């Protein structure tokens, strides 16, 4: 599962039209490094990054706890994380 849902254009227009009608405040946010916040369900390993190898265990690989940019599951892991947080706040 790698898909991250995106909002449909009609939803954007509908909600903005409603906000105009109701005279609501509309705010805009941007999450920095969003894909790094994702938590991985799968076991994913990477080679030790160049220049940061552990001299005692040069043959070891790193197991990822959190998502990285470029990972196949990064978009989905991020969306999962964010939507869980929103549900925790009482959103549905």
Partner 1 sequence: MDYSLFTYTTATIRMFVLVYVDDIIVKGSNTQTIHHFIDKLKTEFQVKDLGELSYFLGIQALRNQEGLHLRQATYITDLLHSTYMIGAKPLNCPSSSGPKLSFVTGNILPDPTDYRRVIGALQYCTITRPDIAYSVNQLCQFMHCPRDVHWKAVKRVLRYLKGTIDIGLYYVPGDIKLNAYCDSDWAGDPDDRRSTTGYGVFLGTNLISWSS
Q: How far is the CB of 53 from partner 1 (least distance, A)?
A: 28
Site string for partner 1, 51-90 (x = CB under 8 A): ------------------------x--xx--xx-xx--xx
Site string for partner 1, 15-54 (x = CB under 8 A): xxxxxxxxxxxxxxxxxxxxx-x-----------------
Phi-psi region of 70 (alpha: psi -120 to 50; beta: other; left: phi over 0): left
- Sign, Cα dihedral of 37, 38, 39, 45: negative
Neighbouring residues of 25: CB distance < 8 A, sequence distance ≥ 6: 19
The residues binding partner 1 (CB under 8 A) are 4-35, 37, 75, 78-79, 82-83, 85-86, 89-92
């Amino acid at each position: 599962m790698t898909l991250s849902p995106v909002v449909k254009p009609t939803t954007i227009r509908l909600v903005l039209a409603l906000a105009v009608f109701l005279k609501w405040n509309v705010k805009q946010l941007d999450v920095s490094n969003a894909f790094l916040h994702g938590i991985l369900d799968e076991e994913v390993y990477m080679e030790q990054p160049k220049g940061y190898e552990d001299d005692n265990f040069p043959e070891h690989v790193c197991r990822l706890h959190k998502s990285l940019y470029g990972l196949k599951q990064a978009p989905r892991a991020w969306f999962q994380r964010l939507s869980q947080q929103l549900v925790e706040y009482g959103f549905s």
